[in-house]
Structure 1
């Protein structure tokens, strides 16, 4: 086997021996350290017959040119010229040489390419091996070896034979009158034999009148005769039970050329499409791509839009678009591709004029021979309504349907932006209901909610125009007035609003009365930012509430300073507790009958490192507001019990409790822990409360008081006689002691009503077996009068101010000596 060799299990022509020889020759000529071998070492000398196959290329100014060609190469190129540009060669040869040469230069290695050249309808395949070499004149020379590979084949015959489509040629047979009487198959391909389901030998030279294939049906033959008579072409279909063939016929004199295609699958798809289209529950239609006329609508579209089918098919797309969207719809239609998906929702008009929101999805189709778009419609009207409701809920209060804080702040920011160019005023009003908590406590939260809705209705009726009223939470409302109002106008409006909200409300036969307090901030003087104005209006509201409620107050810079002072104190309080700056002082409780100390009231003191001693009246309310009083109260309990454990057995210690400690629900455990830690007997601990403990969550607080009594701890009512319902509290809980407020003791000698009150409380205490203690005793006369009225205990500066822990022992010794001297 000399002419061929076996490679990878296949026999290849001798050309591959030539290619191997050339590659080895190129490799052998490559010297160490050089990137390319020399032209002379590769292309000159021992090439022999291979030289006839060489096209020598050179590169000049970025373009390739033919330098030399061998005899075989000249026949291939059909050109014997040398030193010509590559572009002068036939395009198929030029392309092959250019690709091979460029690739060899890029890689710096031999490169094998393949060229397909068509000559006289015959396809020839050539191997092109490009060998890059260096030239001693500079630059690079590329020798391209060219040789034909394999056998030639006829392009048209190959395409004709290989196509799946059926191709036949038929000759007309005419009768004596010259009319076509039959047709004879004179040529066909394998595709035609397969589609007609007959062997090629059975079909070749067969007359159609003899039958036995689908072309032989009388109606088919008549159509083919008409094509020959008219000299034109036609397209028609042949349907049988199992398949459908599409026939294309073209006449050339008495010769017919037929193309046969199997369109069975297409017809089935069209049938499925019809079934899917007509019976689909989704509204669908097809419109003409050019005219936008409806050319098909399904039952769902007819039912959903309300137009009859006949009306629909007389309409164009534009007639279901709202007029204000004609331009945007038209632009979207111009940009449509083969597949379309809504990037937004559109508005459509139904037959009754109502608008719906839809998403549309389309695909280009051929429908009944017309180019069009199949469109499916999804009605999202209810979804949009639901989204609108959700958006409304996101910016409105669920109870009153007023705008909420987010909406209010957005509106205020926009109003401030609009007011800035003309330096116009924007007013912010914070409105808080007075006594609303009493309604909730007395009638329950459902009644309170109904009252809030009625308040909201009154506010909406009063606040109009471009102004906004919102509910910020609880019983707090806010108003923005955007009409460049003056301070006097805001003041008049606020007075009118307070009167309106303070008028009685009737709910289920109950008459309810609440008041209102209003804080006001005006831009730009009180701030030009949303958060700043709201904060300042809130400070003004705090001042209005502090002044008794039922009034309005404008923001003043002093309020800001007070607020800053309060914030500083909050910070200092937390730091003070962490740093141990608090201490307890003790004021003696003196038994009038024995003139002896029966106990001490522990009083909290704060020794600030810079500001010195700070009054409890200043920091206790703030400690309650920020919740620090719970931890601070537990510390007081533990310290007081620990100190009292060092005193004589008969001396008690009194500790004041805050209402906030009751809300923490940890009070009983804190008392037990303090007693256990100190070892103090519960009988020596006295806890003082104010009537405010009864004003909130009475049942829960009473339960806590009873638990404390069960421990053996004494319970004292502080500031008795100054509240609203003190006598009812004595019925609610069996107090061990009631303390007469210092305001009655102070004017005991000057005012008879004070003496009467002290006398009544002392008598009440004796009747209920409750100890009475008078606070604020400063003179001997006050002491004598209290003794005469039957009071049991006293405390005040007459005996001692509150003293630090270190001085308690001296107080006890002093009173002990006085008792000895009296004896």
Structure 2
């Protein structure tokens, strides 16, 4: 797969805001006794911008991609749906398959990383697979994908200069977690030349299914031995007249395989006298019995720093470190006619420095003595590069702090070693960091994150550990037997340190920090419990305005339970028909008659009575119920409005979630068709949040609705960031003046000025203006004087059930009659 441009998506510094939210949402939807939560409870509803980052996969039989958001489609390079995953680009297909398989096997969310090469750059993506059960019995998995942000060409930088073929392999495991095959995730140019493969022909290939020499059974067995043993392995093979030596080093499930073509060296062995002296590899001959150096070539003299005369006075053990004398001796006693290193050895140079080497030897006669000819390959730099790869796998590429994986490993170790003593977790989130990115750009934000990391490193010492979990989230382990007072003092110190001004490229920047604290064993005995509870405490600290720290409290769990109860009640309420619509009249100032009604959703709980929309609407949005509720409101309002006079309209509020569902136009058409209501009698009210994301797509939907003849109204006008620009983007039929300006109309000149300006704007643009929250005659007089067209508020009536509409109309001298 090729991707010439960086895919747009959620900023990398915020990606871990999404993953904990999705994990919490999955846990919250899990019902007692169920193995998996329902698909509708997890994947439908208020995913917001995350919806574009989610793919839906069917986990029965052959893994199939059922749906994918726009960001995922760009990552895959494929916009198709309902296709087997194996038809996707191999790097993406492997990452999705492994994550989904693990999630299905374990029955819980599985977080993983995918490393994809795009235009020569290694890009790292975070994957979160969320297994769910659908109501028709199938198992569905939602996979969230987002780029971690940092791009690097590490392997190219390390290995491009070597003549050896260097191949990086990722271990593929079967359903039982056992290694079964290997996939090539990176290689240098020498690998293509040595394996005689066209450019690009190796990348992402599974070696077990390939046609190169890597597909040989002995090589597969060799690699399996390396990954299972967790150590370096050596192998020599002969292929098509070439002699190849292979060195494999395993770092967890990643193997660095180096292939050296030693055919030339073999041939030099056959003509030793001719080629020995000028060989560029260090070589020598030593006595098989006394181990005295008998001859050394120029390369050995130059590389080791001993003079030739000094070399010839020495014995072999004198270039070995003393701590390896025994192992070197044992290895020599086992050699036969030929040998090559079964491990890396350390050698001493004349200046005392150590190098790591591989040695290759053959028994040869030398000046009538029994000797061994040895060639030495210095792999010191290669080992340093491999160590660097291992280091980077456990550290954040931007800040060099330990990453999430390393943090979790250390936290588990600390808990295992605690023996009942307290271990503390401080979960840190930077305040106002998003403002820095938005105002100064991500490069400045990255430099700021580096300075934050430096301050944390300076403040967190000893057995404690500071890590970057992702985005602007950090965490600290207090590994000693820490008291609550000590944890509080540490959190206070860190907040003070992090809020001090930063000088970034000569620009002073100020942020803050909020911290959540959890202490074992009271707040949890596992790393997962401590992290979850520290995250809850952090949420409380952020809710209190930030810049503070909070300890985890059991009350937070109780609040979470109340929230879960509300979610259960909401789903039951929708199924049981506990929702109803009330209608508040809109009155024309010119005619003093009702021109329409705004439909308002109400919940009549069987035990709690009427529940405030302010309580249940946000929860309905979070759990994805708001779209279904919105469709019901639209159908019910149209059905009721048909009973009213033909000049009376009905207004329905739309949620941003209904726009994201992308079937809003069809829902409106269906509601009008089923009720028989004329489109001209329907008004749809939106807020400016519709314009804050996916403006082009939402504008297209609004234009389609207006083409139907439906009126579009901007609600809460004047309270947002850029409402005037929206009037240029779309020809609204109505703007509603927010009640905050009407409330103090008679007391505050600025409110009068704002109402006058909005009314004048409406007249100039031929847009109806409606004032909300009218409660007094005095306010009505002001609005009439300022040219407002329509009013709404308690002065005329509160929202009433449908059964009271006829009475309200009668009070205004209007009679109900069924009219479309």
Name the TM-score, length of structure 1 as normaliser.
Answer: 0.58
Tell me, yes or no, if structure 1 residue 313 matches structure 2 residue 307: no
Shift in CA distance, 280/736, structure 1 to aligned 2, threshold 3 Å:
same
Q: How far apart, CA to CA, are the structure 1 residues paired with 2:324 and 2:649?
A: 87
Q: After superposition, where does 1:370-769 map in structure 2 within 5 Å?
A: 370-421=369-420, 423=421, 425-570=422-567, 584-606=581-603, 614-630=611-627, 632-633=629-630, 636-637=633-634, 640-641=637-638, 644=641, 647-661=644-658, 682-693=679-690, 713-723=710-720, 735-743=732-740, 752-753=747-748, 757=751, 760-769=754-763
Q: How far apart, CA to CA, are the structure 2 residues paired with 1:529 and 1:363?
A: 55
Shift in CA distance, 710/490, structure 1 to aligned 2, threshold 3 Å:
farther
Give CA-to-partner distance per residue, 1:444-471, whole Å, 9 cap, x none.
4334333333333333333333322222
Q: How far apart, CA to CA, are the structure 2 residues paired with 1:608 and 1:369?
A: 103
Shift in CA distance, 447/420, structure 1 to aligned 2, threshold 3 Å:
same
Cα drift, residue 534 of structure 1: 0.9
* CA contact 2:759–2:786 (8 Å) conserved in 1: no
Q: How many residues get paired?
A: 546
Q: How far apart, CA to CA, are the structure 2 residues paired with 1:558 and 1:292?
A: 75
Q: How far apart, CA to CA, are the structure 1 residues paired with 2:570 and 2:445?
A: 36
Q: How far apart, CA to CA, are the structure 2 residues paired with 1:361 and 1:418?
A: 44
Q: After superposition, where does 1:133-532 map in structure 2 within 5 Å?
A: 272-275=271-274, 277=276, 280-336=279-335, 340-421=339-420, 423=421, 425-532=422-529
Q: How far apart, CA to CA, are the structure 2 residues paired with 1:438 and 1:306?
A: 58
Q: How far apart, CA to CA, are the structure 2 residues paired with 1:504 and 1:675?
A: 58
Cα drift, residue 406 of structure 1: 0.4
Q: How far apart, CA to CA, are the structure 1 residues paired with 2:605 and 2:343?
A: 66
Cα drift, residue 384 of structure 1: 1.9
Q: How far apart, CA to CA, are the structure 1 residues paired with 2:554 and 2:743?
A: 38
Shift in CA distance, 442/630, structure 1 to aligned 2, threshold 3 Å:
farther
Q: Tell me, what secondary structure is at the counterpart of 2:343?
A: coil
* CA contact 1:662–1:701 (8 Å) conserved in 2: yes
* CA contact 1:759–1:790 (8 Å) conserved in 2: no
Cα drift, residue 407 of structure 1: 0.8
Higher relative contact order (CA 8 A, sep 6+): 2
Q: Tell me, what secondary structure is at the counterpart of 2:325?
A: helix
* CA contact 1:597–1:812 (8 Å) conserved in 2: no
Q: How far apart, CA to CA, are the structure 1 residues paired with 2:353 and 2:652?
A: 75
Q: Tell me, what secondary structure is at the counterpart of 1:356?
A: strand
Q: How far apart, CA to CA, are the structure 1 residues paired with 2:639 and 2:302?
A: 87
Cα drift, residue 562 of structure 1: 1.4
List runs of 5+ in structure 2 lacking aligned partners. 1-266, 816-820
Tell me, yes or no, if structure 1 residue 794 matches structure 2 residue 791: yes
Q: How far apart, CA to CA, are the structure 1 residues paired with 2:288 and 2:471?
A: 60
Mean CA deviation greater in 769-778 or 719-728: 719-728
Q: Tell me, what secondary structure is at the counterpart of 1:490?
A: helix
Cα drift, residue 577 of structure 1: 6.0
Name the TM-score, length of structure 2 as normaliser.
Answer: 0.58
Give CA-to-partner distance per residue, 1:131-175, whole Å, 9 cap, x none.
xxxxxxxxxxxxxxxxxxxxxxxxxxxxxxxxxxxxxxxxxxxxx
Q: How far apart, CA to CA, are the structure 2 residues paired with 1:572 and 1:300?
A: 81
Q: How far apart, CA to CA, are the structure 2 residues paired with 1:335 and 1:500?
A: 60
List runs of 5+ in structure 1 lacking aligned partners. 1-267
* CA contact 1:738–1:765 (8 Å) conserved in 2: no
Q: Tell me, what secondary structure is at the counterpart of 2:522?
A: coil
Shift in CA distance, 464/668, structure 1 to aligned 2, threshold 3 Å:
farther
* CA contact 1:776–1:797 (8 Å) conserved in 2: yes
Give CA-to-partner distance per residue, 1:386-417, whole Å, 9 cap, x none.
22222222112222222211011111122222
Tell me, yes or no, if structure 1 residue 818 matches structure 2 residue 802: no
Superposition RMSD on alpha carbons, in Å? 3.9
Q: How far apart, CA to CA, are the structure 2 residues paired with 1:631 and 1:384?
A: 59
Mean CA deviation greater in 350-359 or 637-646: 637-646
Cα drift, residue 580 of structure 1: 6.8
Question: Rg: which structure is higher?
Answer: 1
Q: How far apart, CA to CA, are the structure 1 residues paired with 2:560 and 2:391?
A: 35
* CA contact 1:539–1:563 (8 Å) conserved in 2: no
* CA contact 2:741–2:755 (8 Å) conserved in 1: no
